[in-house]
Chain A
Amino acid sequence: MPKDSGIGAPQKRREDVRFLTGKGRYTDDINVHGQLYVHFLRSDMAHGTINAVNTAEAENMPGVVRVFTGKDFEGVGSIPCGWLITDRFGEPMQEPPHPVLAQGKVRHVGDPIAAVVAETYAQARDAAEAIELDISELPVVVDMKAALKDGATKVHDDLKNNLCYDWGFVEENRDAVAKAMDEAAHVTTLELVNNRLVANPMEPRVAVGEYSQATDESTLYTTSQNPHVIRLLMGAFVLGIPEHKLRVVAPDVGGGFGSKIYHYAEEAFCTFAARQLKRPVKWTSSRSEAFMSDAHGRDHVTKIELALDAENNFTAIRTETYANMGAYLSTFAPSIPTWLHGTLMAGNYKTPLIYVNVKAVFTNTVPVDAYRGAGRPEATFQLERVIDKAARELGVDPVELRRQNFITEFPYATPVAVEYDTGDYNATMDRLLEMIDRDGFAARRQASEAKGKLRGLGINCYIEACGIAPSNLVGQLGARAGLYESATVRVNATGGITVMTGSHSHGQGHETSFAQVVADMIGIDENMVEISHGDTANTPMGMGTYGSRSLAVGGSAMVRATEKIIAKAKKIAAHLMEASEGDIELKDGAFTVAGTDKSVAWGDVTLAAYVPHNYPLEEIEPGLEETAFYDPSNFTYPAGAYACEVEVDPETGHVTVESFAAADDFGNIVNPMIVEGQVHGGLAQGIGQALLENCSYDEDGQLISASYMDYAMPRADDLPMFAVDHSVHTPCTHNPLGVKGCGEAGAIGSPPAVVNAVVDALQSAGKNVTHINMPLTPSRVWAAMQGA
């Protein structure tokens, strides 16, 4: 039976009421008195030298207050990168500057050249058209391998070449892996592309900068997943505003999926311009701008080799990946193909030797950074595709090949630096097989064939790593930030609680699920707990929400702070009941003395804390408010098994997803309804990557998928109802809630299931197709069938 309150209960979300009645407060809903509007003139050219930007006519247009260009930002800081990668020769990565407005050159379509600030949006847009640009077109690098050739045009003239870094992991294993490849009974090789995607949260980015002359304080309202990180990066590195004079507010945020982690030029611009002009400045991205200015995701080109011995045990994995960085380094870009990708190459399997090589490349494209899963989908896709190919080459059952190589004993130290604390990969596979009626597949295939369709079944596993940590380790790995989370639990005199969390909710429902945790710990009604987030003025320094970390890291901080509250409240209760502190028990919102019928209510204790008339003032301070910072000792490792059944129309190559099942192990679960919703959304994004979505550049660097007319977002009739299950749960051993994180699993685990299924369908028709690059559009599938 599901619980009806507290941890484990499928509570309906309290935030829904405002969203369903049009009362949400998103950044674009905020208008500040006297605000101006900015429109950015962006490069329509992928690469060029800026000879002149003539703004004279634009400045005289109606309503125009000022036109800014790159010159106005000379002496202003560069947009910083938050992670330094050291290459396999021990050298630091090449790290180019990233000006707020282009200086000297434009480097991708969408690079902002000038910014027109006017009384209305329409006036700003009109005036931007009057700016005269003199830009000399330069040769363009789009393809990564071409960008690394000798003599290729350099995206950044001051760098040696277009190679950001050449990373090896674990470098010491390079020779041993090569030897294992040579000695293997069988090696399966697969070359594949992990297609470039655009995160596309439905709310485009918005920034409103405001400056108070009275207090010399700046405020930025922005669509961010981590307002404190923006405050630190923008304040300390770009604009030189101390954090105590800078407030960043991320109110209701309409989805992020990673793309709203980063500090963007437009945020710095609005804050800067508001200080210059002494008036608020607002920018609202159009969707077209979003496509050419939001950081993109994925874009890896990989060769993977899997070595097996004569008994089909995995003996070694070797990969070589080209990872696109785009034209500038976005905030966490360098860490994605390295520490969030290489460390996951063991997957769910005990492979003793692994070597991952990553070449990160600058090209004349939009910067690439984390998108839902970030590095882990790329690792999972390679591994689960190559295992499927190996099973086919060896003539063995792909499920059995996986099972044979599963890690079964925990903790397990992989050869790629991480230690899995818990998991049960056979249990999630068993659960999946129960869900999908694999035995009935032959009959379903026959039924499809009777309709002239091909049917395929794809099964795979995944593992992910959530809640990147600990800070001291990632600091050694190049992170320029801490990776803790914070919470302040403020108990009010009348017993209600306000929790101020450094995590941020932009669809995850923290206002509901976080309240469930605190209410459960104290034994009070959830409606007595309010969750506050997103405003640096009233929340402790936090790192925000990404990487499925909020409950595992932010929730843990909240638990720690609540434990401090309970400990202090017990002292107060002991005083009120004239009992020993050690005898006080808290249950269902009341303090009792063990072995007696003495009791005081939660509200009596909280009132005593703030009206300390009968209170041990000599021992403890009045008040009941505690803060905790939690720095995890390890990642968490959710894992699972996924299955996809597809039908392929051999006449057209059109693929339909007939069913999709996901068996996940997320450890303990606070709100199963929210968890299932997270999986559904992840699955849709993963299936979208596999079948529909592709961010596409032509050879001139023109972005040719810059609208919803050209970039195929998954729509309701592209997807089936999903079968999701989270009944297998091996709790995380190192955080107090035993939770693992569920936000990215669906997007990580689903693309290989879809591709495995399509290959299975084509093979059933005797087509020797071993791989098709995503997205598996009808034309690609049809072409693969004709060539086979």
Chain B
Amino acid sequence: MTRVSMKVNGKDVAGEVEGRTLLVDFLREDLRLTGTHVGCDTSQCGACVVHIDGQPVKACTIFAMEVEGADITTIEGMANEDGTLGVIQQAFQDHHGLQCGFCTPGMVMAGAALLKENPKPTEKEVRQYLEGNICRCTGYHNIVKAIMAASGQQVDPPAMAAE
């Protein structure tokens, strides 16, 4: 067992982990931050996306030991200080961007990372950025709408007319 310490959602935390302990398991089982989810075992679904030093990372692709000293943000750290929903969280609620809620933490974390690097993405850019996040409930329609709304943009209503 190895001791690791890091900052999670602004708090200093530490724990004893095996070499093979994934960050997502450390967050869920040791810190009991169960908002970060595990939806696959091949780093495909994106339900476990967290921010490590500001970068979106699938927490199932990295060992807890590898983030020694890092600054980590999870879904539990995304609300405003007064406890109200942050801009992107609120957009997901306003636009029904979630149903069962299981992929949602990863979607919110990915969406937030996208808007940080590209504050005014096109609909196509949002869809391409979400390539690594699978949702089975929403058909992505309202997730795309929510992220666009969080960037202050609307999605053009779908029309069958010529592009």
- Interface presence of B131 (CB below 8 A): yes
> Is the CB–CB distance between A20 and B104 below 8 Å?
yes
- Interface presence of A726 (CB below 8 A): no
- What string of 1s and 0s marks CB contacts (under 8 Å) between B135-148 and chain A? 11111111110000
Residue from B94, B101, B123, B162 within 8 A of A15 (CB atoms) = B101
**A437 neighbours in B (Cβ, 8 Å):** 159-161
Residue from B36, B79, B123 within 8 A of A721 (CB atoms) = B123
- Interface presence of B55 (CB below 8 A): no
Interface bracket on A? 35 or more
- Interface presence of A72 (CB below 8 A): no
Residue from A13, A255, A286, A714 within 8 A of B96 (CB atoms) = A13
> Within the assembled complex, what's the spacing in Å between the Cα atoms of A18 and B104?
11
- Interface presence of B115 (CB below 8 A): no
> Is the CB–CB distance between B134 and A16 below 8 Å?
no
Identify whether the interface residues of B are mostly helix, strand, loop, or mixed: loop
CB nearest neighbor in A for B105: A22
**A29 neighbours in B (Cβ, 8 Å):** 28, 34
- Interface presence of B39 (CB below 8 A): yes
Known: A20-B104, A677-B96, A681-B137. A723 touches B130 (CB 8 A): no
> Is the CB–CB distance between A723 and B158 below 8 Å?
yes
> Within the assembled complex, what's the spacing in Å between the Cα atoms of A16 and B146?
13
> Is the CB–CB distance between B38 and A721 below 8 Å?
no
- What string of 1s and 0s marks CB contacts (under 8 Å) between B32-61 and chain A? 011111111110110100000000000000
> Is the CB–CB distance between A200 and B142 below 8 Å?
no
Residue from B42, B78, B131, B160 within 8 A of A287 (CB atoms) = B42
Of A127-135, A293-301, A439-447, the stretch lying at the interface with chain B is A439-447
> Within the assembled complex, what's the spacing in Å between the Cα atoms of A658 and B130?
19
- Interface presence of B102 (CB below 8 A): yes
- Interface presence of A601 (CB below 8 A): no
- Interface presence of B62 (CB below 8 A): no
- Interface presence of B108 (CB below 8 A): yes
> Is the CB–CB distance between B162 and A447 below 8 Å?
yes
> Is the CB–CB distance between A201 and B136 below 8 Å?
yes
Residue from B41, B98, B104, B127 within 8 A of A707 (CB atoms) = B41
- Interface presence of B118 (CB below 8 A): no
Known: A19-B98, A21-B75, A708-B134. A203 touches B35 (CB 8 A): no
- Interface presence of A33 (CB below 8 A): no
- Interface presence of A113 (CB below 8 A): no
CB nearest neighbor in B for A286: B41
Of A50-58, A502-510, A524-532, A571-579, the stretch lying at the interface with chain B is A502-510
**B20 neighbours in A (Cβ, 8 Å):** 122
- Interface presence of A246 (CB below 8 A): no
Residue from B37, B78, B162 within 8 A of A26 (CB atoms) = B37
- Interface presence of B155 (CB below 8 A): yes
- How many Å from the CB of A428 to the closest CB on chain B? 16
Identify whether the interface residues of A are mostly helix, strand, loop, or mixed: mixed
> Within the assembled complex, what's the spacing in Å between the Cα atoms of A684 and B33?
31
> Is the CB–CB distance between A721 and B144 below 8 Å?
yes
Interface bracket on B? 35 or more
**A18 neighbours in B (Cβ, 8 Å):** 101
- What string of 1s and 0s marks CB contacts (under 8 Å) between A428-454 and chain B? 000000011100100110010000000
- Interface presence of A624 (CB below 8 A): no
The residues in A between 473 and 502 inclusive whose CB is less than 8 angstroms from any CB of B are none
Residue from A200, A287, A685, A716 within 8 A of B126 (CB atoms) = A716
> Is the CB–CB distance between A204 and B39 below 8 Å?
yes
> Within the assembled complex, what's the spacing in Å between the Cα atoms of A250 and B85?
27
**B138 neighbours in A (Cβ, 8 Å):** 677, 680-681, 684
> Is the CB–CB distance between B160 and A659 below 8 Å?
yes
Residue from A22, A674, A721 within 8 A of B155 (CB atoms) = A721
> Is the CB–CB distance between A255 and B99 below 8 Å?
yes
Residue from B35, B126, B127 within 8 A of A22 (CB atoms) = B35
Give me the 10 closest cross-chain CB pairs, A-B, nearest first.
A22-B35, A19-B101, A254-B102, A684-B139, A507-B100, A708-B44, A507-B99, A680-B139, A22-B75, A29-B34
Binding site for A on B (CB under 8 A): 18, 20, 28-29, 33-42, 44-45, 47, 74-76, 78-79, 85, 89, 92-94, 96, 98-105, 108, 123-124, 126-128, 130-131, 133-144, 155-163
> Beyond A717-B127, A717-B130, A721-B156: 14 further Cβ-contacts under 8 Å?
A19-B104, A20-B89, A20-B104, A20-B108, A202-B135, A659-B160, A673-B96, A682-B139, A713-B44, A714-B139, A716-B127, A717-B131, A719-B139, A722-B139
Q: List 28 A-B contacts (CB under 8 A).
A: A12-B94, A16-B93, A19-B101, A20-B75, A20-B104, A22-B36, A29-B34, A122-B20, A201-B100, A202-B37, A253-B100, A254-B37, A255-B136, A288-B42, A435-B160, A437-B159, A507-B99, A507-B137, A509-B99, A659-B158, A660-B158, A676-B96, A683-B139, A715-B131, A717-B131, A721-B155, A722-B158, A723-B158
